[in-house]
Amino acid sequence: MNTLKTRTIALGSLLSVGISGQQDVQAAGKEPKTPNFIIIFADDMGYGDVGAFGHPTIKTPNLDKMAYESQRWTNFYVAAPVCTPSRAGLLTGRLPVRTGMSSEKRRVLFPDSKGGLPEKEITIASSLKQKGYATACIGKWHLGHLPQYTPNAHGFDYYFGIPYSNDMDRVGTENYMETTTKPKIEYFNVPLMRNSEIIERPADQTTITRRYTQEAVKFIEQNKKKPFFLYLAHSMPHIPLFRSPEFVNRSLRGIYGDVIEELDWSVGEVLKAVINNKLDKNTIVIFTSDNGPWTTFHEQGGSAGILSGGKGGTYEGGMREPTIFWSPGLIKPGVIMEMGTTMDLLPTFCKLANVTLPNDRIYDGYDISPVILGTGHSLREVVYYYRDTEVFAVRKGAYKAHLITQSEYGPDKPVVQDPPLLYNLNVDPSEKFNVAKDHPEVIEEIKKILEAHKATLTPVENQLEK
Ligand code: MG
């Protein structure tokens, strides 16, 4: 088969049916067919934990193949370096500071939290529902477990998963490090839900990746005749680490590697379901992670590879994620070094699905469909690195200024950097060489950008402190 030709034809057909030439299709008497979307979201996986992103001892053949066949993004970010605000940013296309989903006091939601993603926020799922998409959330939610905040309340037809992190609802007397690094299922009384019903408690985490995968495959098969959006948010590799019996002691990288290799197997099953149901010409699958590796857990945490820092912090390792866009039919293959963020997914999906964004709110995402289709460039020039409700760093083009620094989880207080630390991320992605002295004009420009950004913020009720 001539792959290049197939890609060209498929890309042309998407452009004519979904984006620019809808009239041609309508004139031919056919309904415009918009793409299906699948987001596979890992939890706490580092930039360096995928073979295609350089890991020497974790085998990820499915992710590597996915990257080779389509697009590997090397400058793709999340909205925040911890779970709850990162997920809020992904699903709403808005910075968590605008939705009340970030806080210094409690960095994420907990089982005793009373807040969640406000009802007035519009998720990717609710947006796509307007065009008749079938929608499912499978996996970890972490945007509020009370009825008004659940996936079903936010545009998802179907939900199967855990409502918050897998290390919560901890029972027993052992200390936290002990229970999380030598875990047993019964230490974590986390419920497994199907829609609003608890079907298992504690969730059997050894089989959770496998069961999420089975649910995902079933959803794809059941909805192959209509457009769908699947948000598959794995609980792993967030500690405590669990994997199915067949993945025990499989990886040279130890238990963390076993867990990633099971996730990679899961990716393979999802892609197989897409291909076997002949949906690969019209489905976009995105793989990324909610934040960087949890380095507090040493060997049981992941690796940010060439990047410094990890989960919880605003160095690159906390927020730049190993990201792959796959669709043999639609996406122009290559390595993408332009900037993108998870907040760009909502505007991009809406563009491809012909959904008009409401104009009553500020979106922080851009439509990056021209980059994935190979027809243009990313409009994104700036990334804000929020730690909770404060901007700690700003990237403009190649340069990143750290205005405030603080270790990810240490006892130290934030340190205001004056002048800010400045790194050229194209030349120095590891943030080792401060070039502030040589580029005062860049620092001035970044300060102005930040000032203008802050003027767009309005106070909102804090959901994490309720
Ligand atoms: Mg996380």
Buried b (16+ CB within 10 A) or exposed e, 407-427: ebeeeeeeeebeebbbbbbee
Span from the CA of 431 to the centroid of ligand 1 (angstroms) = 22
| Mean pLDDT to the nearest integer, 6-27 | 38
**Residue of 358, 325, 341 lying closest to 35 (CA atoms):** 325
Span from the CA of 44 to the centroid of ligand 1 (angstroms) = 4
Quick check: 111 pLDDT over 80?
yes
Which pair of structure tokens corresponds to residue 274? Answer: 């897409």
Quick check: 464 pLDDT over 80?
yes
Dihedral (CA of 89, 95, 101, 106) sign: positive
Q: Are 37 and 349 in contact (CB under 8 A)?
A: yes
Catalytic residue among 55, 142, 145, 238: 142
Q: Are residues 189 and 234 in the same domain?
A: yes
Distances (CA, A) of 33 to 50, 174, 325, 327: 33, 55, 20, 15
Domain count, the chain: 2
Secondary structure of residue 153 in the 3-state scheme: helix
* pLDDT tens, residue by residue, 172-200: 767 888 888 999 999 999 999 999 999 99
List the Cα angle 306/308/175 in 5-degree steps: 120
Q: Are residues 18 and 152 in the same domain?
A: yes
Catalytic residue among 55, 83, 234, 350: 83
| Mean pLDDT to the nearest integer, 411-435 | 97
| 404 vs 31: which has the higher pLDDT | 404
Q: Are 146 and 114 in contact (CB under 8 A)?
A: yes
Provide, rounded to the nearest whole percent, the portion of the chain with pLDDT above 70: 93
Q: Is residue 461 part of a domain?
A: no
Span from the CA of 243 to the centroid of ligand 1 (angstroms) = 17
Quick check: 244 pLDDT over 50?
yes
Q: Is residue 222 part of a domain?
A: yes
Which one of 381, 398, 424 terminates a domain? 381
Span from the CA of 290 to the centroid of ligand 1 (angstroms) = 5
**Residue of 294, 314, 291, 313 lying closest to 302 (CA atoms):** 294
* pLDDT tens, residue by residue, 342-399: 999 999 999 999 999 999 999 999 999 999 999 999 999 999 999 999 999 999 999 9
Span from the CA of 362 to the centroid of ligand 1 (angstroms) = 25
Residues lying with their CB under 5 A of ligand 1, a single-atom ion = 43-44, 83, 290-291
Task: Establish whether 83 is a catalytic residue.
Answer: yes
Q: Are residues 331 and 436 in the same domain?
A: no
| Mean pLDDT to the nearest integer, 263-268 | 98
Cα–Cα distance for residue pair 163/195, rounded to 1 Å = 10
Provide the domain limits for residue 303.
4-381
Which one of 364, 381, 398 terminates a domain? 381
Span from the CA of 85 to the centroid of ligand 1 (angstroms) = 10
pLDDT of residue 30: 53
| Mean pLDDT to the nearest integer, 101-114 | 96
| Mean pLDDT to the nearest integer, 55-81 | 98
pLDDT of residue 245: 97
pLDDT of residue 4: 36
| Mean pLDDT to the nearest integer, 427-436 | 98
Q: Are residues 57 and 108 in the same domain?
A: yes
pLDDT of residue 49: 98
Span from the CA of 236 to the centroid of ligand 1 (angstroms) = 9
Q: Are residues 54 and 147 in the same domain?
A: yes
pLDDT of residue 32: 59
Hey, how many other C-beta atoms are within 10 angstroms of the C-beta on 68? 12
Q: Is residue 182 part of a domain?
A: yes
Q: Are 89 and 96 in contact (CB under 8 A)?
A: yes
pLDDT of residue 173: 67
Give the start-end residues of each E strand in 101-179.
134-139, 158-161
| Mean pLDDT to the nearest integer, 104-109 | 95
Quick check: 27 pLDDT over 80?
no
Span from the CA of 82 to the centroid of ligand 1 (angstroms) = 5
Quick check: 18 pLDDT over 70?
no
Provide, rounded to the nearest whole percent, the portion of the chain with pLDDT above 90: 90
Q: Is residue 464 part of a domain?
A: no
Q: Are residues 63 and 81 in the same domain?
A: yes
Q: Are residues 275 and 389 in the same domain?
A: no
Q: Is residue 462 part of a domain?
A: no
Q: Are residues 362 and 393 in the same domain?
A: no
pLDDT band with cut points at 50, 70 and 90 for residue 23: very low
pLDDT of residue 72: 98
CA Rg, the chain, in Å? 21
* pLDDT tens, residue by residue, 135-167: 999 999 999 999 999 999 999 999 999 999 999
pLDDT of residue 175: 86
Q: Is residue 465 part of a domain?
A: no
Q: Are residues 144 and 215 in the same domain?
A: yes
| Mean pLDDT to the nearest integer, 279-308 | 97
Which one of 345, 366, 381 terminates a domain? 381
Q: Are residues 389 and 377 in the same domain?
A: no
Burial class for 264, CB neighbours closer than 10 Å (0-12, 13-18, 19+): buried
For the chain, give the mean pLDDT.
Answer: 93
pLDDT of residue 339: 98
Q: Are residues 395 and 376 in the same domain?
A: no
Burial class for 438, CB neighbours closer than 10 Å (0-12, 13-18, 19+): exposed
**Residue of 80, 50, 63, 132 lying closest to 286 (CA atoms):** 63
Task: Establish whether 439 is a catalytic residue.
Answer: no
pLDDT of residue 437: 98
pLDDT band with cut points at 50, 70 and 90 for residue 106: very high
Quick check: 215 pLDDT over 60?
yes
Secondary structure of residue 176 in the 3-state scheme: helix
Quick check: 16 pLDDT over 60?
no
Span from the CA of 225 to the centroid of ligand 1 (angstroms) = 33
Q: Is residue 90 part of a domain?
A: yes
Quick check: 19 pLDDT over 60?
no
| Mean pLDDT to the nearest integer, 32-47 | 94
Span from the CA of 449 to the centroid of ligand 1 (angstroms) = 28
Quick check: 113 pLDDT over 80?
yes
Q: Are residues 226 and 356 in the same domain?
A: yes
- Which CATH number characterizes residue 349's domain? 3.40.720.10
Span from the CA of 86 to the centroid of ligand 1 (angstroms) = 8
Q: Is residue 262 part of a domain?
A: yes
- Which CATH number characterizes residue 397's domain? 3.30.1120.10
